[in-house]
Chains A and B, each alone.
Chain A
Amino acid sequence: MFKIIEKSTPSIKVNKFVIEAPEIAKKVLPGQFVILRLDEKGERIPITVADKDIEKGTITLFIQEVGKTTTKMGTLKNGDSILDIVGPLGVPSHIENFGTVLCIAGGVGVAVIYPIAKALKEKGNKIISILGARSKDFMILENEIKKISDEFYITTDDGSYVQKGFVSDVLKKLIAQSPGKPVADIVYAIGPVPMMRVISDITKQHNLKTIVSLNPIMVDGTGMCGACRVSVGGVTKFACVEGPDFDGHLVNWAELVNRLCVFKTKEKESLDHHCKLDK
């Protein structure tokens, strides 16, 4: 059992959990994830680790309420427990001194990019961050990212905060402002699939190497089931053991989008079932 030490709701539909998991805290590196199972009948869901505290023996997860498990997690309180957590899983993000790194994140992807950006900053990189959210109430980890950024931009889809638009608008502007010179040495883009796809399309035109973090459907997370297969550069990769980070210019986005939809109807059925039980 893994005890929840602290639970809060930093944005609409996004819950933050600080969970006692000392062994995982000791080992997890930026970019890696865990798979949790809430209870005996629960499914296994992969979640990237946003932060850790080795001394306190905790890991921090930001979990957006989408399906049954994540919605049910929203009802958990301090002191409650999660039945199973396995990790760290996946290959850690590649951290080195590239020079300037552009960190682009949207929605709950901000929680995924946070430990990566922090590690990149510690390696001496200049960090330019662009964060996006649907509206002000959906923004997470703004101050934390701002603190480690040399340049910092925010957009909201509805204009309720700072600047109306998408992260891609800011990216285009930065590229336009820097003619003849690459805006960064490498780009990390993490967020909803459509966002990562758009960013990758833009950076490809400008030859800016772009790393994305993929979130396909997974079951075991150890390379055993192959549910998470993605085509990268025409080759099938298992995101759980060969990712989750991949070259955004090589990902077959259409296939990923389709594969993510495969249980849509079932997911709704599961959520409905849960809601009925609750009533």
Chain B
Amino acid sequence: MEKIPRQKMPVQNPQERVKNFSSVALGYSEEQAILEAKRCIQCKNPTCVKGCPVEINIPGFIKEIANKNFTAAAKILKDKNNLPAVCGRVCPQETQCEIKCVLSKKSDPVAIGRLERFIADWERKNSPMSLPAKDSVEGDVPNLKSEILNLRSKVAILGSGPAGLTCAADLAKLGYEVTIFESLHTPGGVLMYGIPEFRLPKDIVHHEIDYIKSLGVKIKTNMLVGKIKTVKELFDEGYKAIFIGTGAGLPQFLGIPGENLNKIYSANEFLTRVNLMKAYKFPEYDTPVNIGKRVAVFGAGNVAMDSARVSLRLGAEEVFIVYRRSEKEMPARLEEIENAKEEGVKFHLLTAPIKFIGDENNNVIKVECLKMELGEPDASGRRRPVPIKGSEFTIDVDTVVIAIGQTPNPLLPKTISDLKIGKHGNIIVDEVTGATNIPGIYAGGDIATGAATVIDAMGAGKRAARAIDEYVKSKK
């Protein structure tokens, strides 16, 4: 039998897609999905599952696709993953499940992420009725392993990003009465404000959040816990446990002169304006964003790639990624780097900024940089960039985005007395359970680990849900 090659993902052509915010990747057709699913050799002891932080039965759902049982595939997927359409789009499968696929030893691994995306999309379009009944925890909710013991026990989730949503959904499936408190006007956290429409359409996020609501989870928006309520008040209101999933929403800056000049944004500000507030539709939407002709983005992670690609779509003529190490060390997913290159993003590698220069109106016009070379590996295991003396040069820019990472947002942790905080502002938790040093308070996702991936945050939410269930039961 002829070997089936890994199915390519159809994508919008780069020249076209830089002019719009629609999805770049278009998704598999049914035929492609079935062909790809048939590549899975159904290992008895599947190693791919070990690479999945949310423990999806990967061969199980793929087998159902191969047999064209899409509804059954969706059920298996959703048994473990509450946000499959999100994960199918933004997970770094190449370093998680797919890297562990047996096929990858001899050829290409099964496109697990693309199949996940296919099934989630298929279900959304074809099988809306598979959603459980709304606002019901006692009734006929699928997957509900409710024990009378747990029914009506209240749990509060702070933050509605991937960690909080996952923890909430899993607790709801176990029969808990779950309320999520979200400070923004829309739930979703980084899925809404951070990841652009062309990589993760917002109606898909809404749909997956609706699914979580249908499990009985309540979401209160515009509620900044720490200000409107303290954690102590939540306990007083009868919440038996609290999960903190408030993310890493504190932007880091370079700390060099001129950084507060106009048109220098943190990636968070830039992306929030565009993604959450839809500044790309200004003035139909009220929130503006200023984009110039020449944009420099500092950093080389996924957020930097997103910022660069957003800049092009907003009409910038030249967009640079400026990064102090070499291409090999860039933390972004390979696919995102390739997408950025195809779209025309340019790369100034081994380059570090020293200062920003502004005009008489305080607008940034230049950035002075130094060339770097790589020295010995540093604590991160990557080779340390070392400045080359006398290599100063300037780049003309009129917009700058700083995308060098986020640290945990301290607002909430600071309001909880005696909570153990690490030196980077992260909440210190037990890695397995997410338990903090305060009984009944759990945390996970970026607030505990510092900026990481959506799926890692979801894994933490899942583990914490399990631990919270045990904790609440032990208290009864």
Which A residues are in CB contact (< 8 Å) with B284? 41, 273
Cα of A42 to Cα of B287 in the assembled complex, Å: 7
A69, A255, A267: which contacts B260 (Cβ < 8 A)?
A255
Cα of A228 to Cα of B362 in the assembled complex, Å: 16
**Minimal beta-carbon separation of B402 from chain A (angstroms):** 9
A68, A86, A223, A254: which contacts B286 (Cβ < 8 A)?
A68
Given contacts A222-B409, A269-B283, contact A258 B290 (CB under 8 A): no
Confirm or deny: A227 has a beta carbon within 8 angstroms of a beta carbon on chain B.
yes
Which B residues are in CB contact (< 8 Å) with A266? 282-283, 288, 290
Q: Is the CB of A224 within 8 A of B249?
A: yes
Interface string of B287-300 (1 = CB under 8 A from A): 11010000000000
> What residues of chain B have their CB less than 8 Å away from a CB belonging to chain A?
183-185, 193, 221-224, 227-229, 249-251, 253, 259-260, 262-263, 265-266, 268-269, 272-273, 277-278, 282-288, 290, 361-362, 409-411
Which A residues are in CB contact (< 8 Å) with B227? 27, 87-89
Closest to A24 in B: B228
**Minimal beta-carbon separation of B257 from chain A (angstroms):** 11
B228, B249, B273, B361: which contacts A27 (Cβ < 8 A)?
B228
Which B residues are in CB contact (< 8 Å) with A87? 224, 227-228
Which A residues are in CB contact (< 8 Å) with B259? 236
Cα of A255 to Cα of B223 in the assembled complex, Å: 32
Given contacts A219-B269, A225-B268, A236-B253, contact A41 B260 (CB under 8 A): no
B222, B228, B273, B361: which contacts A219 (Cβ < 8 A)?
B273
B193, B249, B362: which contacts A255 (Cβ < 8 A)?
B362
Closest to B414 in A: A241
> What residues of chain A have their CB less than 8 Å away from a CB belonging to chain B?
23-24, 27, 37, 41-44, 68-69, 83-89, 219-220, 222-227, 229-231, 236, 241, 254-255, 258-259, 261-263, 266-267, 269-270, 273-274
Cα of A230 to Cα of B259 in the assembled complex, Å: 11
Which B residues are in CB contact (< 8 Å) with A223? 249-250, 409-411
| Most chain B CB inside 10 Å of its own CB: which residue of A24, A85, A226, A241 | A226
Given contacts A88-B227, A231-B260, A263-B288, contact A222 B185 (CB under 8 A): no
Cα of A86 to Cα of B229 in the assembled complex, Å: 12
Which B residues are in CB contact (< 8 Å) with A68? 286
Given contacts A229-B260, A262-B262, contact A88 B228 (CB under 8 A): yes
